[in-house]
Structure 1
Amino acid sequence: MLKAGGALLVFFAGWGMGNWKSRQYQRRIEDLQMLQLIISCLTGEISFARNTLPEAFSRISTKVVSPFREYLQSIAERLKAQTGEAFAGILKE
């Protein structure tokens, strides 16, 4: 009886950890798909609409969901401020 209970605990612990890890990977895939959308929108905004980077980032921020929206809006604001910072430095922060 004790061995069966232990086996069940091990089984459910493994199942729970696998399920948790699977959800993490799914979120990662969704984030990467959103980044792919942002890059394709940015390419379109610059190539076809001929927008500047601050305009492109602010327009794209209206099309994406929460964590990416704030990030793109902050980039657009910092680019509009024209403080002389390098673009790579703004993206890293």
Structure 2
Amino acid sequence: MISTLGMVLILFAGTMIGFQQAAKYTDRTAQLRQLAHALQRLETEIGYGQTPLPVALERAAGHTRGPVQELFREAAQRLLLEDGSSFHECWEGTLEAGWGRTAMRQSEKASLSRLGAALGISDREDQMKHLRLAMLQIQTEEETAREEQARYSKMWKSLGVLAAALVVILIV
């Protein structure tokens, strides 16, 4: 009875590990989509609404959720609270503090870091160009993430179940 329960627990744990690994691919794709949407909203706020950057960041955050929302909201708060700090300094601090909570990779962080260096220091048209460039980079990364999700998500789920089954077989 106890050995049967142990085998079931091993199978369950292996399956959950596989599903957790597969979920990282799904989370990355969803967060990249949210990030592209937030950047598009930010472009609209800056370009057409002529909204100040902290308010534009807060409004862009209001249309997303999860870690992407936290990044934009924290950047807006840092920009409002820290006297004398440039947007780039606030943005970099936000990325460093909050990047671990996202499922995104370093290439996306580098794109956002380059964007942070350009926002707030040039005219509206230049900022919109930088936002469009960042959106294109993020959309390209999203396409790659979708391909990886399709390729590796099923693999991780199967691998978790099969590895757990192998452990059970070896124990018996």
Q: How many residues align?
A: 81
Give the letter for the 1:26 counterpart.
Answer: T
Pair 1:18–1:46, CA change in 2 (3 A): same
CA contact (8 A) 2:39 2:60 kept: no
Counterparts of 1:91 and 1:78, CA distance in 2: 8
Distance 1:18 1:69 in 2: 27
Query: Does residue 61 of structure 2 align to residue 67 of structure 1?
Result: no
C-alpha distance after superposition, 1:12-43 (max 9, x if no partner): 8xx94664433211111111111111111100
Task: Give me the whole-angstrom Cα distance separating, in 1, the residues matched to 2:55 and 2:72.
Answer: 11
Q: Distance in 1 between matches of 2:31 and 2:61?
A: 15
Q: Give the structure, 1 or 2, with the largest relative contact order (CA under 8 Å, sep 6 or more).
A: 2
| Runs (5+) with no aligned partner, structure 2 | 1-10, 94-172
**Residue 78 of structure 1: how far off its partner (Å):** 2.0
2:49 maps to 49
> Structure 1: any 5+ residue segments left out of the alignment?
1-11
Identity %: 24
Alignment-derived partner of residue 24 in structure 1? 24
